[in-house]
Amino acid sequence: MPDSEGHPAVDEIELGAVLSALADPLRRRVVRELTAAPVGTARTCSSFALPVSKATVTYHFRTLREAGLIRQVDRGNSRAATLRRTDIDRRFPGLLALIAAETEAVEAAGTAEAG
Amino acid sequence: MPDSEGHPAVDEIELGAVLSALADPLRRRVVRELTAAPVGTARTCSSFALPVSKATVTYHFRTLREAGLIRQVDRGNSRAATLRRTDIDRRFPGLLALIAAETEAVEAAGTAEAG
DNA sequence: TCCCAGGTAAGACTTGCATCGTACCTTCCC
DNA sequence: GGGAAGGTACGATGCAAGTCTTACCTGGGA
């Protein structure tokens, strides 16, 4: 059973939920940035500057949290998100590497690749 | 550009499309069975006995095909699906192992785990 | 030739997802 | 205490995903 904040235990992390969570480019971007950051990095939701409203950001972070990809810890005023690296690596070894390796061509749509 | 049958080239296989395709449990089941089978195994759509209508099966196989996960080849009367193992392994090494490792607890919902 | 099995295509329908606006809560700082 | 910043909750909305039925095509066998 997930804890009071909605974090599933390691054994409760389901592949389906993880893949669904990672199917969204915005959520994949969050996980990618977290994966690229030093281990243990904690960032606030707003620090990712996602191009959506505050409410939508909350929604995406909840999805990531309930899938078991991130852990959100209270930090007084705000709430910092950390990657559940160890847990994910144990359940799905190699998955984070795949996400990290993605080069987001879509976001650079403004710059012509063949230019 | 995908070929006339909708198969993307290796370099066109996108992580987002692949994850979206694999987010569905039915499609994951197809890929899992194909991954577990001997290399080169070709199976017809109907041989998977998915619990949905014929038209829906076609839809799911098209999704898998357009994502680049399977290749569908004409075989006279029917159409056989093969896993694009080499292509997927090159683009996303380790991904198939994750899918193959999933134990589908959901499908065995009828049997009490703690019984 | 006729019929059946396997697939596909088009259209309709339902549900869920991503999104937003608004209202509200908490904490920090003045 | 009051205000601003960061998040959450709730309700509403628009669109895409998954599903079905029906109609149709193709190839094989009697």
Q: Where are the domains of chain B?
A: 10-101
Q: Do A92 and B99 touch (CB under 8 A)?
A: no
User: Per residue of chain A (115 residues), what is the pLDDT tens digit?
Assistant: 677 778 999 999 999 999 999 999 999 999 999 999 999 999 999 999 999 999 999 999 999 999 999 999 987 778 999 999 999 999 999 999 999 999 876 444 434 433 2
**How far is Cα A79 from Cα A45, in angstroms, rounded to an integer?**
7
Q: What residues in chain B have their Cβ under 8 A from chain A's Cβ atoms? A: 15-16, 19-20, 22-23, 25, 28, 92-95, 97-99, 102
| Cβ B42 vs Cβ B85: under 8 Å | no
- Domain B10-101 coded CATH 1.10.10.10: yes
> Between B25-36 and B54-67, two packed helices, what is the crossing angle to 10 degrees?
70
Phi-psi category of residue A105: left, alpha or beta, with phi > 0 → left and psi -120 to 50 → alpha:
alpha
Residues of chain A with Cβ-Cβ distance to B98 below 8 Å are 15, 92-95
Residues facing residue B79 across a β-bridge:
B74
